[in-house]
Structure 1
Amino acid sequence: MIAGMTASSIGLLFLAGAGTSPAQSNDTALIARAKAIHSRVIKLDTHNDIEPANFTPDCNYTMRLTTQVNIPKMVEGGMDVSFMIAYVGQGPLTPEGFDDAYRQVVAKFDAVHRLTEKIAPDNIGLALTPADVLALHKKNLRIAVIGIENGYPIGNDIKRVKEFYDRGGRYMSLAHNGNSQLADSNTGEVQGYLYNNGLSPLGREVIAEMNRLGMMVDLSHPSKGANMEAIRLSKAPVIASHSGVRALADVSRNMDDEQLLALKKNGGVIQVVGFTSYVKTDSKERTEALAKLREEFGLTQAAGRGGAGFGGGRGRGGAAANTSRTCPVEVPGAAPQVRGAGGGRGRGNAALEALSPERRADYDKRLAEIDTKFPAASRANVKDFVNHIDYAVKLIGIDHVGISSDFDGGGGIDGWNSAAEAFNVTLELVRRGYTEEQIGKLWSGNLLRVWGEVEKVAQKLRKG
């Protein structure tokens, strides 16, 4: 018998041990360690879309809205920094198109300023520099930063780059889905390019002006050729604010190894995105079978999961608030909305609806056969997402990889479908063996470092 222990106490010890396996004990310890790490590192997401109608006195991010990001959900998930996006979809390259895009983007700049300066200054502050991020974090405030998605609203006026910087924009992509006046888009792989898979003369000037001002160049959405040219031209490190690894999910929105290696050489960072159709795609066999079926029935290419990476269920609104709308406050106990679920089935296509009943029945029968033989990919989860992080870290190093979601713009995966679930990403990183220092780099350190280096380059350029 062990000294100092009675038979009954030994029995209790045995029963306690029988109720907790070593694996359970290890998992409990791992979760506790992950929670401690999550509480200490700064968590920063480089891409969250916004709708100005949710930035009004009566309906705003102090409320728990159905949006994937708002202050209550950031607090619940321990998220510290949200890059709120001044996004405008690609429209016609005409004076009228440029004017409309400008109105839309200004409304989004104004929305973020309204939130941080009038609606909730005691809860969230606007950061214009990496130092601002650290200072606001020390004050225990949530932090907003503004990113610009699509240079389309610049029109042909390069002076607007400085205007957008002065309004708070700290990164900008030169295109979205569809070629802009500045750069070819990833969608050009299917739809064709304007600038031979590259930048326009104005686009090259814009990159130089962004370098001079200290605005990060964003590679998410332009074409590969445009990105490679941007990397060559930029005097400062660049970012990909929300992209995946093409070797794991072959869509045009993701970066292949050549782009990733060029990004590393440039000193930049890829913010790996938790967007299900950029994380996990249908098999090559399914994709080819669906394409063949659509071609046979005279249907246009659909934008489902595993397609060319267009659209993606963005659900983004216009510039102006609709005064008649109902504020989308989340109902307690309601099931969360599943975003970015993808589809890959080609439903909703006008040409499909126009088929005769006999042809439609034949199409549906053939589609069902494809579904049976080559099932659609299940929705991506946190493990699938961290696989992309793992791949990028192994290829280009821990210092060049970060984290993003594209929440409220189509993003979301099982286990990380809102800012409230951010801990699950940290937990999976801990399970994979990442250290606290590495996790800090992934969540924010690398992006803040690149941002700071962009500022230093700008200071040198302005000094001449």
Structure 2
Amino acid sequence: MTFKQYTLLGLSALTLAACQTTTSAPEMSVAEVHDAALTLDTHIDIPLTYMSEIDPGLATDLQVDLPKLVSGKLDSGFWIVYTPQGDLTAEGYAEGLEIAETRVKAITQMSQAYPESIEMARTAEDVRRIVGDGKHAVLIGMENAYPLGESVESIPLWAERGVRYVGLTHFGHNQFGDSSNPNPERDTGPKWNGLSPLGEDLVRALNENGIMVDVSHTGKATMMQAADLSTTPIIASHSGVKAIADTERNLDDEQLRKIRDVNGVAQMVALGSYVKLPTPEQKAARDALDAEFGDRSAWDQAKRDVYSERRAEITAMSPEANVSNFVDHIDHAVSVAGIDHVGIASDFDGGGGIIGWKDASETENVTAELIRRGYSTEEIGKIWGGNLLRVLEAVEAEAAN
């Protein structure tokens, strides 16, 4: 039995809390602290060929597969039903729904293909039980509510299929609200000045069905309105902080305090361009590349591959973001929002990955840096998964009332 299994199964919650409170991280090895924490990554993307051409139970070129989960002791995570933002038309919604269906089916198939190692989780208690049994817990998040179309009537179905958070927007405004990054070709400014009326309906539907409201990728007004409207704590599933890297996608201190005030959690993201700002030369090169390639929602895989190669050349112009840079975001978020309101997301296989945490096999390096910064075992447990599971439990409780 591993240290984690003993901790989760053999100790009462009261005893565990006492142990965590009185045990500082330096008194244990990095491996012991990491093994004791229930590690939960709130953003793991998958390609459209998942489970059809790519078997994540084997060693692959992906940043997350079963061997890497085992090697890095990454216990659990949210696998993502991502849909790129398209036109706000019936045809666009239909195309988005087809993409979403492909991904949710693949995640479900993956969770069933390796029952000795992987299990689908629907509740916070499921996550703890599955990890306590020595397996990896899989949850589902939806990035971009766009494929829902012009109605929220399908939310109960998505809840039944296992979706436990929904990101309101992605790049470009949609039918639910304004994005942090307007589409340069479709959007000339704010579309709704925050949430749309349908977006307000979506927040209510998520509350009623036990699904967390995710405000990563939303504009600030959208995020603040969602926080005020939601009857449950909200999350930012994969965001950084503006005070460290001032990008449109990252959260400013007012947003961090709002997440704290509604008892939510901001999951810091390990995506290099949101962790560390590019040099002026890199920014100019990236802007030129983006202008050359245009609207990414229309790209086929070949164009995505070429873009990725060109982007990698630009990234190589300056040292990449590393684990220390990443934990700078955690430090700042903790200083503003408090230790109970900060978590971790990789954005692996969706652009994430930094020096020292390039894939799931290197997950322990994040714990090592947290220890180096002086975080206790209790605090590391909160950051790695405890805070997110607390929010999920609150959302579950609200839906049950």
TM-score normalised by the shorter chain: which range applies? 0.7 to 0.9
Work out the CA distance in 2 between the residues paired with 1:300 and 1:341.
14
Work out the CA distance in 1 between the residues paired with 2:226 and 2:162.
22
What is the identity, as a one-letter code, of the residue corresponding to 1:128?
R
Structure 1, residues 359-387: CA drift from partner, whole Å, max 9, x if none?
A: xxxxxxxxxxxxxxxxx652100000000
Work out the CA distance in 1 between the residues paired with 2:289 and 2:338.
36
The aligned counterpart of 2:363 is: 422
Give 1:197 shift: 3.1
The reply to whether residue 55 of structure 1 matches residue 51 of structure 2 is yes
Structure 1, residues 216-256: CA drift from partner, whole Å, max 9, x if none?
A: 00011011111111111111000000000011101101001
The aligned counterpart of 2:351 is: 410
Give yes or no for contact 1:189–1:252 (8 Å, CA) kept in 2.
Answer: no
Work out the CA distance in 2 between the residues paired with 1:339 and 1:260.
34
Going from structure 1 to structure 2, the CA distance change for 1:265 and 1:430 (only over 3 Å counts) comes to same
Work out the CA distance in 1 between the residues paired with 2:310 and 2:243.
24
Give yes or no for contact 1:186–1:221 (8 Å, CA) kept in 2.
Answer: yes
Structure 1, residues 278-317: CA drift from partner, whole Å, max 9, x if none?
A: 000035xx27x966xx9xxxx976549xxxxx97x9x996
Match of 1:221 among 217, 222, 226: 217
The aligned counterpart of 1:115 is: 110
Give 1:52 shift: 4.0
Going from structure 1 to structure 2, the CA distance change for 1:290 and 1:263 (only over 3 Å counts) comes to closer
Match of 1:442 among 367, 370, 383: 383
Give yes or no for contact 1:42–1:443 (8 Å, CA) kept in 2.
Answer: yes
The aligned counterpart of 1:91 is: 86
Give 1:34 shift: 1.2
Give yes or no for contact 1:47–1:83 (8 Å, CA) kept in 2.
Answer: yes
The reply to whether residue 125 of structure 1 matches residue 125 of structure 2 is no
Q: How does 1:186-205 map to 2 (within 5 A)?
A: 186-188=180-182, 191-205=187-201
Match of 2:314 among 338, 343, 349: 343
Give 1:338 shift: 10
Match of 2:38 among 9, 20, 42: 42
What is the identity, as a one-letter code, of the residue corresponding to 2:164?
R
Task: With the length of structure 2 as denominator, give the TM-score of the two structures.
Answer: 0.85
Give yes or no for contact 1:224–1:259 (8 Å, CA) kept in 2.
Answer: yes
Give 1:139 shift: 1.4
- Unaligned runs of 5+ residues in structure 2 are 1-24, 303-307
Work out the CA distance in 2 between the residues paired with 1:79 and 1:166.
25
1:143 counterpart SS class: strand
Give yes or no for contact 2:151–2:198 (8 Å, CA) kept in 1.
Answer: no
Structure 1, residues 146-196: CA drift from partner, whole Å, max 9, x if none?
A: 000000000012112222111111000111001111111111396544434
The aligned counterpart of 2:320 is: 379
Give yes or no for contact 2:265–2:388 (8 Å, CA) kept in 1.
Answer: yes
Work out the CA distance in 1 between the residues paired with 2:326 and 2:269.
8
The reply to whether residue 279 of structure 1 matches residue 275 of structure 2 is yes
2:154 counterpart SS class: helix
Work out the CA distance in 2 between the residues paired with 1:87 and 1:423.
27
Work out the CA distance in 1 between the residues paired with 2:310 and 2:158.
30
2:29 counterpart SS class: helix
The reply to whether residue 180 of structure 1 matches residue 174 of structure 2 is yes
Give yes or no for contact 2:172–2:183 (8 Å, CA) kept in 1.
Answer: no
Deviates more, 1:100-109 or 1:191-200: 191-200
Give 1:31 shift: 10
Going from structure 1 to structure 2, the CA distance change for 1:59 and 1:181 (only over 3 Å counts) comes to same
Give yes or no for contact 2:159–2:209 (8 Å, CA) kept in 1.
Answer: yes
Going from structure 1 to structure 2, the CA distance change for 1:444 and 1:52 (only over 3 Å counts) comes to same
Give yes or no for contact 2:121–2:137 (8 Å, CA) kept in 1.
Answer: yes
What is the identity, as a one-letter code, of the residue corresponding to 1:39?
D
Give 1:208 shift: 0.4
Give 1:106 shift: 1.0
Going from structure 1 to structure 2, the CA distance change for 1:187 and 1:30 (only over 3 Å counts) comes to same
Going from structure 1 to structure 2, the CA distance change for 1:70 and 1:222 (only over 3 Å counts) comes to same
Give yes or no for contact 1:248–1:388 (8 Å, CA) kept in 2.
Answer: yes
Work out the CA distance in 1 between the residues paired with 2:311 and 2:109.
28
Going from structure 1 to structure 2, the CA distance change for 1:161 and 1:50 (only over 3 Å counts) comes to same
Give yes or no for contact 2:173–2:183 (8 Å, CA) kept in 1.
Answer: no
Work out the CA distance in 1 between the residues paired with 2:378 and 2:218.
32
Query: Identity over aligned residues, as a percent?
Result: 41
Count of aligned residue pairs for this structure pair:
366
The aligned counterpart of 2:59 is: 64
The reply to whether residue 457 of structure 1 matches residue 398 of structure 2 is yes
Match of 1:135 among 110, 124, 129: 129
The aligned counterpart of 1:323 is: none
- Structure 1 runs of 4+ aligned residues shifted over 2 Å read 29-32, 188-197, 299-304, 315-318, 337-345
- Unaligned runs of 5+ residues in structure 1 are 1-28, 305-309, 319-336, 346-375
The aligned counterpart of 2:149 is: 155
2:142 counterpart SS class: strand
Give 1:344 shift: 7.4
Task: With the length of structure 1 as denominator, give the TM-score of the two structures.
Answer: 0.74
The aligned counterpart of 1:395 is: 336
Give yes or no for contact 1:188–1:197 (8 Å, CA) kept in 2.
Answer: no
Structure 1, residues 7-56: CA drift from partner, whole Å, max 9, x if none?
A: xxxxxxxxxxxxxxxxxxxxxx9696111100111111000001242314
The reply to whether residue 165 of structure 1 matches residue 106 of structure 2 is no
Q: How does 1:258-269 map to 2 (within 5 A)?
A: 258-269=254-265
Work out the CA distance in 1 between the residues paired with 2:244 and 2:300.
27
Match of 2:373 among 432, 440, 444: 432
Q: Considering only aligned residues, what root-mean-square deviation do their CA atoms show, in Å?
A: 2.8
The aligned counterpart of 2:68 is: 73
Going from structure 1 to structure 2, the CA distance change for 1:85 and 1:290 (only over 3 Å counts) comes to closer
Going from structure 1 to structure 2, the CA distance change for 1:42 and 1:189 (only over 3 Å counts) comes to same
Match of 1:101 among 96, 99, 117: 96
Work out the CA distance in 1 between the residues paired with 2:87 and 2:183.
19
The aligned counterpart of 1:326 is: none
Deviates more, 1:76-85 or 1:189-198: 189-198
1:188 counterpart SS class: coil
1:248 counterpart SS class: coil
Give yes or no for contact 2:155–2:205 (8 Å, CA) kept in 1.
Answer: yes
Q: How does 1:302-313 map to 2 (within 5 A)?
A: 303=290
